[in-house]
Structure 1
Amino acid sequence: MSKQIQAVLVLYRMRLQDSGTYNAWNAAGFSATADLMVCDNTPGTPGAPPADFQGPYLAQPENPGLAKSYNLALQRASQNGATWLMLLDQDTHLTADYFEEVGRRAAELADDEGVVAIVPKLVENGMVQSPHMGICTKTWTPLPLNASGLLENRGQHIYNSGALMRVSSLIAIGGFPEDFWLDYLDHAVFHLLREHGGRVFLMNASILHTLSSNAAPEPNSPAYLARHANGLAAEALYYRRYGTPEELRWYRRKLLRATANAAIRHRHFQLAWRTLKAALQVRMTG
Structure 2
Amino acid sequence: MENKVVITIVLYRTNFSQTPSYNLLKNYIVEKKSVYLLLYDNSDKAQDNELFDQENVCYIHDETNPGLAKAYNAGNRYLTEVKGDIMLLLDQDTLLDERYLEKLLCMSLDIAIGAYVPIVSSHGRQISPVFSDKYIGRQSELPTSGSYSKMIMSINSGTALPKETLKSIGMFNLDFPLDFLDHWLFWKIYQLHKKVCVLDYHLEHDLSVLDYRRVNSQRYESIIRAETLFYQKYDQDKLLVHRKHLFLRTIKQFLRVKNRKIWRRTFLEYRSLMKGK
The TM-score normalised by the length of structure 2 is 0.89
What does 1:181-200 align with in structure 2 at a 5 Å threshold?
A: 181-200=177-196
What is the match of residue 14 of structure 2?
14
Any conservation in 2 of the 1:7–1:86 contact (CA below 8 Å)? yes
**Identity %, equivalent residues:** 27
- Given the superposition, is the C-alpha separation of residues 98 and 3 from structure 1 closer, same or farther in structure 2, using an over 3 Å criterion? closer
Q: Distance in 2 between matches of 1:217 and 1:138?
A: 17
Offset from partner CA, 1:58-102 (integer Å, 9 cap, x none): 111111211001101101112222121111111101122222222
What is the match of residue 139 of structure 2?
140
Q: Distance in 1 between matches of 2:192 and 2:130?
A: 20
Match of 1:56 among 51, 55, 58: 58
How large is the Cα RMSD of the aligned pairs? 2.6
Any conservation in 1 of the 2:3–2:105 contact (CA below 8 Å)? no
1:25 counterpart = 2:25: yes
Post-superposition offset of 1:178: 0.8
1:41 counterpart = 2:42: yes
How many pairs align? 273
SS in 2 for 1:92: coil
1:103 counterpart = 2:105: yes
Any conservation in 2 of the 1:28–1:96 contact (CA below 8 Å)? no
Post-superposition offset of 1:261: 1.4
Q: Distance in 2 between matches of 1:275 and 1:180?
A: 19
Offset from partner CA, 1:102-130 (integer Å, 9 cap, x none): 2233xx11xx2211111111112433211
Structure 2: gaps of 5 or more residues? none
The TM-score normalised by the length of structure 1 is 0.86
Match of 1:229 among 221, 225, 237: 221
1:258 counterpart = 2:249: yes
Structure 1: gaps of 5 or more residues? none
- Given the superposition, is the C-alpha separation of residues 139 and 93 from structure 1 closer, same or farther in structure 2, using an over 3 Å criterion? closer
Q: Distance in 2 between matches of 1:126 and 1:213?
A: 15
Q: Distance in 2 between matches of 1:138 and 1:183?
A: 16
For 2:250, give the aligned amino acid: T
SS in 1 for 2:21: helix
Q: Distance in 2 between matches of 1:8 and 1:124?
A: 21
